Amino acid sequence: MQITILAIESSCDDTSAAVVRDGRVLSNCVANQEVHQLYGGVVPEVASRAHQANIIPVVDLALKKAGIDKKEITAVAFTRGPGLMGSLLVGTSFAKAFALALDIPLIEVNHMQAHVLAHFAEDPKPDFPFLCLTVSGGHTQIIRVRDFHDMEILGETLDDAAGEAFDKSGKLLGLGYPAGPLIDQYARQGQARFEFPEPAVSGLNFSFSGLKTAILYFLRDQMAKNPQFIEENLADICASIQHSIVTILLKKLRKAARQTDIREIAVAGGVSANSGLREALEVMGQKEGWHTYIPRFEYCTDNAAMIGVTAYYKYLRGEFCGQDVAPYVRGMH
């Protein structure tokens, strides 16, 4: 029998639905919420309302693109957490109602586990055990992945996520939200000639809030001397910010790889689109003898395909949940 899963992801500001059959992605649709650009960040209440408006059209589109009728679906999967409560509730409630109406099993999925298993949506897939650096607007983690179900967080951020570091720095420069892709673009034309102090965080954890403060003071001092400083040096400032963030990420990743003696290295999350990170990963990977893996961009950012792929491996183990399951805001359960 084929296992056909309808998956829903609504943990932050994107509403996504996907159909995954026997672990293969048949469709993956995302409704972005551009409204948050007006506010310079995700507004939880606005996100929740937009999910309510988007979820039915997105699910319909995912079914249509997959060429699937509702009756062919064997299970419904949804992101249980971590994420914004109001956003998670929309996907959770929808999935429960869908499962009840069709009398099919319900599968709850952890969003962070799903970012890691996005690497199994397509070839080439990493071999177990591998390390996964998950970097996005909400997360920064290094995870040791022993198999589909056995993962251990080796390090994570103590404050801001890597994507937030890009976005908040960009805000200081007067760039729009999200600033990550813009910093990446400007950085390509600049030189990383400004230095910011590296955070002193022991072990494999990260900290980005100090960098944000250092950039704030640096810009304030420079602007006092020359009010055109940002305008005249934008590309070099962006290159320097990007270089600092990438250096922080890769130093910890190298430390984790050496400590665990693992050379299968995967990167996931929206920040993995960053060209500076990709180049530096390639260089470091060659030096260290790594096999590196970055999924296609649509599987890096928040998407329901990764929820469906994760749910497929849970289905194989009979890991279903009841109608009484509640979302959670934090944690890797």
With CB cut-offs between 5 and 8 Å by kind, which of Zn ion, ligand KG4, none does residue 25 bind?
Answer: none
- Which residue's CB is nearer to Zn ion, number 136 or number 233? 136
What element of type H or E holds 302? none
* HSE, side-chain direction, 13 A CA sphere, residue 148: 18
3-state class (DSSP) for residue 123: coil
* HSE, side-chain direction, 13 A CA sphere, residue 222: 17
Q: Where are the alpha helices (DSSP H) in 7-154?
A: 44-66, 85-102, 111-117
Tokens of 260: 């665990």
With CB cut-offs between 5 and 8 Å by kind, which of Zn ion, ligand KG4, none does residue 98 bind?
Answer: none
* Among 13, 108, 160, 302, contact with Zn ion (rule: CB under 5 A): 302
**156-170 burial, b for 16+ CB within 10 Å, e for fewer?**
bbebbbbbbbbbbbb
With CB cut-offs between 5 and 8 Å by kind, which of Zn ion, ligand KG4, none does residue 295 bind?
Answer: none
Options 30-38, 149-157, 270-278, 284-292: segment touching ligand KG4 (CB under 6 A): 270-278
- Which residue's CB is nearer to ligand KG4, number 75 or number 241? 241
3-state class (DSSP) for residue 318: coil
Contact between 137 and ligand KG4 per CB under 6 A: yes
Contact between 206 and ligand KG4 per CB under 6 A: no
- Which residue's CB is nearer to Zn ion, number 138 or number 190? 138
With CB cut-offs between 5 and 8 Å by kind, which of ligand KG4, Zn ion, none does residue 137 bind?
Answer: ligand KG4
Contact between 327 and ligand KG4 per CB under 6 A: no
* Contact pattern from residue 132 through residue 171 relative to Zn ion, giving x for each residue in contact according to CB under 5 A and a dash for the rest: ----x-----------------------------------
Q: Work out the end-to-end distance of the chain between its first and last CA atoms, rounded to an integer number of angstroms.
A: 30
* Contact pattern from residue 141 through residue 180 relative to ligand KG4, giving x for each residue in contact according to CB under 6 A and a dash for the rest: ----------------------x--xx----------xxx
Residue type, 21: R
Report the alpha-carbon distance of residue 18 to residue 212 in Å, rounded: 36
- How far apart are CB 2 and ligand KG4 at their closest, in Å? 30
- Which residue's CB is nearer to ligand KG4, number 4 or number 140? 140
Contact between 12 and ligand KG4 per CB under 6 A: yes
Quickly count: other Cβ atoms within 10 Å of residue 173's Cβ: 18
Secondary structure percentages of the chain, helix, strand, coil, to 5: 50, 20, 30
Contact between 87 and ligand KG4 per CB under 6 A: no
Contact between 285 and ligand KG4 per CB under 6 A: no
Contact between 14 and Zn ion per CB under 5 A: no
Report the alpha-carbon distance of residue 295 to residue 300 in Å, rounded: 6
Residue type, 124: P
Residues that bind ligand KG4 (CB under 6 A): 12, 136-138, 163, 166-167, 178-181, 184, 269-271, 273-274, 301-302
